Every structure is written in structure tokens, then in C-alpha cells.
Amino acid sequence: MTKTPTWGVVATIKAPARDILCFAAHHLDLGAHRVHVYLDAPNEAAEAALRAHPKCRVILCDEGYWRRRRRKGRPDAHQPRQSLNATHCLNRRPQVDWLAHIDVDEFLLPDRPLSAQLAALPAETLSARARPIEALAPDPADPPQDGQQWFKSCARFQGRRREETNDIYPTFGPHLNGGFVSHVAGKVFVRTGLENISLRIHNAFVDKVMDDRPVELAETRLCHLHAPSWEHWQSAYAYRLRHGSYREGLKAAPMTDGAGLNMHALFSLLEADGGETALRRFFDEVCTATPDLRERLAAHGHLHSVALDLDRKRALHFPDHV
């Protein structure tokens, strides 16, 4: 009899305890055999709750941890910390057949059990990719109903993506990759138990060579709560502009004439031109589920309604830490 593969997730997290436990609970609810959390900062409440759960593993990434891990100690940037921790988990004791490296604001959403999807992959598959859908902020004048949340997707292939993006986002589309303000690459599951494998943010590597042909998990989406509200977006904006996904030096959205701005240049230009008012104008067109934007997204098949129900799941899996 063929063994049903087990799967789990690994994340390096600095977030409130509530967010950490929602992340863990969601994936436990889907059937994760292990949830590995590397705490990027002390969080006693989250650490206690995770340690109490039989399927969770938690490591506090304090100075002692980093001194043991590498001669140079703790990396300054969070991106290498994430990659080093994910690879550490992969090569140490992942206790699963497949491991996904994702973030605390990302939630896997399979159409059928992930174990069945992973079991169906060819034996030679090293990694498998789940493509993202990005959360939209609710329109205060027309909010979603019954715990639902609006998300947007984009076309996988660049030619169609560029054409649709320009149509859906009339003002800012030329500078956007699929209309997303976060990544369009998605995240990967990697097969465990192999030698010389490492993980980065979006890809798996063999002997430091990227696996450039991961299998597509067409029946699984990655719900990314990157900008679920104006307040949330503003609270993370300055850090992202300096150190995160809007930092200087990242590539601009692919353009037919090469004229697009990257996110750092676009947001810096908006701020210089109109300050917070200009940024709000961007957010309202690109990130808010207005009826007009929903209509344009739906016309291209890129509007999704999802009920993550995170509070219920957190209460179910961590009843003593609600």
C-alpha cells in the first residue's frame, strides 16, 4: 500500500501572538503534520501555545541561536534569516515528506487535500509551487458578507498578464506586475530527505542551483494578506520601503517598452508628489475591493471570495490561548 505523504510548513515570524496562532491553526486545520515556527523575536504567549501543541515545533532565534548557527551571528536583513531557518528546518528534522516555506500572512487554500495533491506528483519532483492570490481591503461602502474576504489573482503568463493588468488598473497598471503589490511568484513545497537541498523565499535549490521547473499545484492557492486594510498597509509601509518588498533595487514590473517603475520608485514618487493623499489614491484604486475594481477583476476571472475563518480555527486548535 502506498504511504500517504505528510506535509508541513515552516516560517520565520515576528508578529503578535494572535497572528502566529491563526497561521498555525489554519494549517493544522488543513491537515499539516508539522508547523515549524522560528520566532524572530521573543513572544512568550505564542511560544507557550505552540510548545503545548503536539504538531507544532518552535525555535526562539535569539543571539545564542544565531551564534550556534553561523560564525557571523544573526544576519541583519530578515530575508536571509528566513532562508537560513527554512533550510535549517529542512535539513534537521522536518518530520514530514513535504515542507512549504511561507510567511505568517500567507495561508494555503487547497481545493482538495494537499496530501492527495502531493501524492500525485511524479517521483522525480523536487518542488511544487502554489500561486498567490492577494487580499483586497474591504470597501467601507460595500463590504463583503458572511465572513468572506475578496482576493485578486493574475494571469500566470507575462503577455496576457501585462494586457490584463493595464486594463484592470487604468492609472497604475503599467507599473504593476499583475496588479499585485506583493509577490506574484508564490511559494514552494520541497520534498524532504534529499541531500544538498536549500530553500530561499520563493524557490528550492540543489547544490546551490535553483530548481527552475517546479510542478504547479494548480489546485492550491496561497492567500496572501499583504494589504488587507489601509491601516495594516500603512503600519508596514515604511519598513517595506526600506528593507522589505518595496526596497530599492528590486526589479520593476516587466513591460513591453521597459518603462515601468519598481515599487520603491513608484511609492517614493507618489510620496514626493502628494504625500499620504497620493498613497491613499493608489491604495483605493489597486488594493480596495470597490465595485468597479471587482467588476474589472471578475471580467478577467481574477476575483475570488474566501472565508478563512481564522478566529474559529485558532479557538479550536489553541483553546487555552485564545
- The model's pLDDT over 287-314, given as tens digits with 9 standing for 90+, comes to 999 999 999 999 999 999 999 999 999 9
With bands split at pLDDT 50, 70 and 90, how would you rate the model's confidence at 38?
Answer: very high
Of residues 67, 108, 93, 63, the one with CA closest to residue 222: 108
How far is the C-alpha of 33 from the C-alpha of 56, rounded, in Å?
Answer: 8
SS3 121: coil
With bands split at pLDDT 50, 70 and 90, how would you rate the model's confidence at 260?
Answer: confident
How far is the C-alpha of 253 from the C-alpha of 207, rounded, in Å?
Answer: 29
Strands (E), 61-164: 98-101, 106-110, 127-135, 149-152
220: phi then psi, degrees, rounded to nearest 5: -135, 130
Domain-wise residue ranges, the chain: 7-321
Can you tell me the mean pLDDT for 162-191?
A: 95
Mind listing the pLDDT tens digit for each residue in 41-65?
A: 999 999 999 999 999 999 999 999 9
pLDDT of residue 251: 86
SS3 230: helix
SS3 180: strand
241 CB neighbour count, 10 Å cutoff: 17
Mean pLDDT estimate for the chain: 95
Of residues 71, 91, 69, the one with CA closest to residue 196: 91
pLDDT of residue 2: 66
pTM: 0.95
pLDDT of residue 258: 62
The set of cell numbers assigned to 23 is 497561521
Is the pLDDT confidence value at 21 over 70?
A: yes
How far is the C-alpha of 245 from the C-alpha of 185, rounded, in Å?
Answer: 13
Count of CA atoms in the C-beta half-sphere (13 A) of 321: 24
306 CB neighbour count, 10 Å cutoff: 17
SS3 224: strand
pLDDT of residue 165: 96
Is the pLDDT confidence value at 19 over 60?
A: yes
Look at the block and give the residue holding cell 503545548: 52
How far is the C-alpha of 197 from the C-alpha of 206, rounded, in Å?
Answer: 5
75 CB neighbour count, 10 Å cutoff: 15
- Report percent pLDDT > 70 for the chain: 98
- Report percent pLDDT > 90 for the chain: 92
Can you tell me the mean pLDDT for 12-29?
A: 98
The set of cell numbers assigned to 253 is 514590473
292 CB neighbour count, 10 Å cutoff: 12
With bands split at pLDDT 50, 70 and 90, how would you rate the model's confidence at 204?
Answer: very high
With bands split at pLDDT 50, 70 and 90, how would you rate the model's confidence at 257?
Answer: low
Can you tell me the mean pLDDT for 189-196?
A: 96
With b meaning 16 or more CB within 10 Å and e meaning fewer, what string describes 160-177?
ebbebbbebbeebbbbbb
Count of CA atoms in the C-beta half-sphere (13 A) of 211: 25
Q: Enter the DSSP assignment of 249.
A: T
pLDDT of residue 27: 98
